[in-house]
Structure 1
Amino acid sequence: MTTSAVPPTIIDCDPGVDDAHALFAAIGARETSGLEAVTVVAGNVALRHTRRNALRIREAAGLDAAALPVYAGCPGPMIGPLTDAADVHGADGLDGAGLPEPRGEVEPVHAVAFLIERLRRAAAERRRVRLVTLGPLTNLATALVMAPDIADGLLEVRSMIGSAGRGNITPAAEFNAYVDPEALDRVATTLDAAGTDGVPFFVYGLTLTHTVTADHAEIAGYAALGSRAGQAVAGMLTTYLDRHRVVPLPGMGGAPADEAPLHDPCVIADLLAPGAVRAVPGRLRVVLHGPARGQTLASFGTGPEAGPRAIWMVEGDAGRLRAALLSAVAGLSRA
């Protein structure tokens, strides 16, 4: 249950190791995160895996469909085939988690239809929803194309997407932006144009997430919790660390550090530790064509030519963010 002061929150994700970590934390601290539903999309792995993984995570956290409904959404990007990240997350997306097959099932409503209905209801009730996205923005973009009025039901959108610098799937592009840049462009443009002042769009890109990392000591902290969730996070992060280390910035030289970036969990950690991340208002433009497809160009001027408005989350207190995540997952061991 959540308190009335906390906005209702939907997490749209593509689990994925780091999505799973973020979901466990959001569930473990529901009174702060406000989590009420999960929607899934294809991204890190195919939709058949992301829907299954969301159910496995829910059940490992001790919840069922009545407590946390899961809705399956789009099986691929708005244009072209899916590019996945199974090489990083494993063939099923949760390598190392050790979670059993789920007993429950997703809701019999498409995630896009759910978002349209829920956000229209939020607008009518004057209690707008916070949407946290941890994967490609295909579900939200499709909903906004079908029903632009749902922007009235959004309090804010907080997305792990993009980069104000280099990429991680190409030299230019971050993975979530690269998988569906048309969706990101549609969302950023629509949110900027909504209402009088637009819907706040918080962008947690690689500029932040590559500075918030997990090493072997951090992983040991999760293993020590002794809960199913703690063991799952520890197992996933161990495998993830073997495949996805922090890479030095161009020109710095040296080998990858023995630590892995906590991409998606950064968004949840910021909700749990307000003020731990510095926000810089600016603008975001998405490259849709050519070798830089998926690149997100950040600017901090005021001219409309710079692109839709966005709030770039660029610098964080890594210690506070990591502590917030561990404390939240620890809450599941006490549930």
Structure 2
Amino acid sequence: MMMKFYGVNFGGFLSQIEEKSEDHYASFLTEQDFKRVQRWGFNTIRLPIDYFELFDFTQNEIMIEKKAHIVDKCVIWAQEYGLKLILNLHKAPGHSFDHNESDANDLWDPKTESQQKFFEIWKKLSERFGKFDNVLFEVMNEPTAPFPEQWNELVEKTIPIIRKNARNNYIVVESNMWGQVDTFSDLKKFKDDKIIYSFHFYQPILVTHQKAEWFRLIQEYYPGYVEYPGEIPNLDPILREMKKQESEHDFFIFKNQMGKWDLQRIEAMWQPVLDFQRKHQVPVLLGEFGCIGYAKPEVRSRWLGDIMTLIKKYDINFTYWNYKNLHFGLIDNSLRFQKNANYNDKRIDTRTLEILQSK
């Protein structure tokens, strides 16, 4: 029987770095963070890595050894504390999940250099880390292929590259279009019995991302606090604005927001994932989920409590977003949440932590 994976994301360390400096790489995460995660009762860390943090294709040896040594330490610390470590390629050559950068995405075109760079990255990562049995390899974060066949084909080509050097490590494959639940039925069941199929869940986005600075339309049209469970009224003005701006990402995320939101609605949304899990008898991972720190503590707790109810009901693996900072952290040392009601005097969100520990 496969072990269960329950843990947190270490986003903001080698991905989505808010302030790059030597001090960041030396102090943002240390051995004590791995020890704390283990002490809190988790057994898995998902480590997102933006490819340009670890690879430089202008050099003969494309892996940046100084940065690779940081990942080496993470693998060893995870081993020492009995933790599994998912190496997640967060941003890839020719691909970014960030809709503000997506115009440059060309990874899906085999004629570009991006795919060859992508395969070379997985060759290097599997060569270096395939010998560690606590390491899992996640092919890519939140793919946005225009057609699902393009994503399935890229994964099909990548699996043998990883398997050449990592015969027994689990490989994680996410659903297309930002890991959405409603694209899960387009995901291929691959001929490899050590694949974990993954999705992300932040719905309703107006609850989990309320007051988020990077969603201008939320700030403009929905500036107040949003309750959960609750009713989200007419959003036609937002949707019209998105169509006018041809914002495919925002429209895709916001189009089904209206109406009553509760446990039953979320469970119904998960049906494509549950059908895939049952049909193929495969492990499923909820790789990212969380409610922003701007939300009221009781809203954050109710939403997360419902997610955990479904995780337990359907035997789903999980890694919560996020361990530290980035608006969703269990710990937050940033100025924006200095006096936030979700965090105690040690800057820890104990209510969220307790709900996650109820696994």
**Smaller-chain TM-score bracket:** 0.3 to 0.5
TM (norm. structure 2) is: 0.36
Relative contact order: is structure 1 or structure 2 higher (C-alpha 8 Å, sep ≥ 6)? 1
TM (norm. structure 1) is: 0.38
